[in-house]
Structure 1
């Protein structure tokens, strides 16, 4: 299935920009594709870039990377719960609160790249473990209805979205 084929009833409209960012990419390849593209962009960074903020009040590069990693983990958890047909309502999370306690200022570029790499590999393995029918399971996440496959697309689209921001606003590419 392509991102463009995902029915809009399978995700809240808030997430639509993440789905659109994927264009016509297939679910089977999107996690691997977005990982390799993002790692390529991260290879352009230097250690001294980690504390850079493109504007006052915006996250530093390190905080942005931690946000991506944290969100990946939270989306993985959502995928697991829904794929196991858990009908419990899953709450949202406040991304800024997570960043406030992230210890970003003490992280190295190497550690952040390694962590993203491992966390994404975990997402890929989780996706590969799912059956076709479990990808269609729906649940209540952040007050809206979502499918497992929609969350997987969102997970990839979230990275694509932030990679674009990283390239344009932090790296001026």
Structure 2
């Protein structure tokens, strides 16, 4: 299944730019390649830049990385709920509160990358267990219909979006 197989009816328009940030790639390939890209990219960031923010009130590099991890966990959870045909509408989350409580400022790069690696491996394992029928299942999150497969591409596109911002504004 390719990114171009997604219909805009499978996700909230808020996520459209995340999905468009990806090439027309297969979901499982992007989940695996994205893992290696993040690990490689973050490996080049000097430790002293982890707690750097490019402006007052902006997240630090470490906070952005923890936001990627937290958001992936949340989208992974939503995908699991929808995959299991749970019709309970899921509420959103307040990303700024999550970032403030992430303790990113006291974590080492190694700790952040280990957590990321664990979460991404779980995401890869979860999505590998889904067949085409399950990937097309829909649920409701933050008041919008979302498919399981859209959640996977949003995870990938969200990461791509934030790594681009780190590269452009933080380094």
TM-score by length of 2: 0.97
Question: Root-mean-square deviation (CA), in Å?
Answer: 0.9
Name the counterpart of 1:111: 111
Name the counterpart of 1:136: 136
State the secondary structure of the residue aligned to 1:139.
strand
CA distance in 1, matches of 2:111, 2:73: 16
Q: CA deviation at 1:26?
A: 1.1
Structure 1 segments of 4+ aligned residues over 2 angstroms from their partners: none
Q: Is the 8 A contact 1:46 1:109 kept in 2?
A: no
Name the counterpart of 1:46: 46
Q: Is the 8 A contact 2:28 2:124 kept in 1?
A: no
Name the counterpart of 1:9: 9
Deviations 1:56-114 (A, max 9, x none): 11000111111000001001100100000000000000100111111121100110011
Runs of 5+ in structure 2 lacking a partner? none
CA distance in 2, matches of 1:46, 1:74: 28
How many residue pairs end up in the alignment?
171
Name the counterpart of 1:36: 36
Name the counterpart of 1:166: 166
